[in-house]
């Protein structure tokens, strides 16, 4: 794409994402009038009205939503390329980077990366914020965010991470008082621990390729993975846990894995970044380090 088209598309994408030209100007470190001029030029070239300016907030018209959908992918690719080129200059990397995500995800995915990251970039200050909700991280001034499940497209740049495998776990003493659990359907008669954020149906696939979906008998509902993990260790039921989170408890005998020939459907993971933050060398560096580390470990 040529420079003029890119600058116009970038202004439109930023405005739609931010909800106002003033906010878009702040994100792109320019002026509101510059954003307005670029969008007016874009509208003139396309012969379309892209934004509804009649209300207090700027919203895309039907044509604007269509053009936004066409432009957002290439604009994000260009933003990522700009960030990579900035890192290639080899300048000293320093600054603070804030990262949010579910407590368990930060613990099993990011914390193990920190020694290598800090050794390589000692002047980057990291700030971790545990957040098990699916709040809008952009409003909390977060640079990067780990998220599970589906991610809404448009306002952020989402990079897919390797999915995490899950399996059912329980306290061995708790299991001693139950009939043998040999099939997923046996979970319908056994007290299970269900997180509020997860589906009420657990889907499994065996090593032989057979699939089963069951509705577990809910004995306890919790709102974080840590509570599910702790409750399972305390013998309050069977919990569906990521394999890395349960590993230590399995090694110490506090948890035992059930149905070893079956795997629950994996959880999709993504690393989110506000597009404007990619221009910050420290943010771009930490993002690239996470992506490389995750893909190398997969």
pLDDT (0 to 100) of residue 136: 61
Hey, which bits of the chain come out as E strands? 51-52, 59-60, 95-101, 124-130, 144-148, 157-170, 191-195, 202-206, 211-214, 217-222, 238-242, 256-257, 262-273
Please check whether residue 267 is in contact with residue 161, taking contact to mean a CB–CB distance below 8 angstroms: no
CA 97, CA 273: separation in Å to the nearest integer?
Answer: 11
What homologous superfamily does CATH list for 95-155+269-297?
Answer: Periplasmic binding protein-like II (3.40.190.10)
Averaged pLDDT, groups of 10, the chain, 298 residues long: 83 88 86 93 93 86 92 84 68 86 87 92 92 64 84 74 92 94 92 88 92 93 92 96 92 96 89 83 91 80
What is the rounded CA–CA span in Å between residue 99 and residue 127?
6
Residue 261 C-beta-side C-alpha neighbours within 13 Å: 11
Residue count of the chain: 298
What rounded mean pLDDT belongs to the chain? 88
Q: What is the DSSP pairing of strand 157-170 with strand 256-257?
A: antiparallel
Structure confidence at residue 183 (pLDDT): 92
Long-range pairs of 18-21 with CB within 8 A, sequence gap ≥ 24: 19/57, 19/58, 19/59, 20/57, 20/58, 21/58
**Residue 90: what pLDDT?**
62
Topology agreement, domain 95-155+269-297 and domain 164-267 = yes
Tell me the pLDDT tens digit for each residue of 263-298: 898 888 999 988 878 878 899 899 999 999 988 765
What 3-state class would DSSP assign to 215?
coil
Question: Residue 153 has what pLDDT?
Answer: 59
Phi, psi (rounded to 5 degrees) for 53: -100, 10
Distance separating alpha carbons of residues 210 and 259, to the nearest angstrom: 13
Question: What residue segments make up the domains of the chain, in order of their start?
Answer: 3-88, 95-155+269-297, 164-267
3-88 CATH, one of 1.10.10.10, 3.90.1570.10, 1.10.1370.40, 1.20.1530.20: 1.10.10.10
CA angle, 35 as apex, 54 and 93 as ends, to 5°? 135
In CATH terms, the fold of domain 164-267 is: D-Maltodextrin-Binding Protein; domain 2 (3.40.190)
């Amino acid at each position: 794409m040529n420079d003029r088209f890119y600058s116009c598309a970038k202004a439109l994408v930023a405005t739609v994402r931010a909800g106002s030209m003033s906010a878009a100007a702040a994100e792109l470190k320019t002026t509101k009038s510059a954003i307005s001029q670029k969008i007016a030029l874009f509208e003139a070239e396309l012969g379309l009205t892209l934004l509804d300016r009649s209300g207090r907030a700027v919203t895309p018209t039907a044509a604007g939503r269509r053009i936004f959908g066409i432009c957002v992918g290439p604009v994000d690719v260009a933003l990522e390329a700009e960030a990579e080129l900035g890192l290639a200059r080899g300048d000293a990397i320093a600054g603070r980077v804030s990262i949010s995500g579910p407590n368990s995800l930060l613990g099993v995915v990011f914390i193990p990366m920190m020694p290598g990251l800090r050794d390589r970039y000692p002047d980057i200050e990291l700030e971790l914020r545990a957040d098990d909700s699916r709040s809008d991280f952009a409003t909390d001034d977060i640079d990067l965010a780990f998220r599970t499940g589906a991610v809404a497209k448009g306002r952020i740049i989402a990079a897919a991470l390797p999915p995490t495998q899950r399996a059912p776990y329980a306290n061995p003493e708790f299991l001693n008082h139950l009939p043998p659990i040999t099939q997923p359907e046996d979970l319908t008669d056994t007290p299970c621990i269900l997180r509020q954020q997860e589906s009420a149906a657990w889907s499994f696939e065996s090593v032989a390729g057979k699939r089963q979906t069951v509705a577990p008998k809910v004995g306890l509902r919790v709102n974080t993975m840590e509570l599910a993990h702790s409750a399972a260790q305390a013998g309050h039921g069977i919990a569906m846990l990521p394999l890395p989170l349960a590993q230590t408890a399995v090694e110490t005998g506090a948890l035992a894995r059930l149905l070893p020939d079956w795997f629950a459907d994996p959880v999709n993971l993504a690393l989110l970044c506000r597009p404007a933050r990619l221009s910050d060398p420290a943010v771009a560096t930490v993002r690239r380090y996470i992506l490389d580390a995750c893909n190398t470990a997969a």
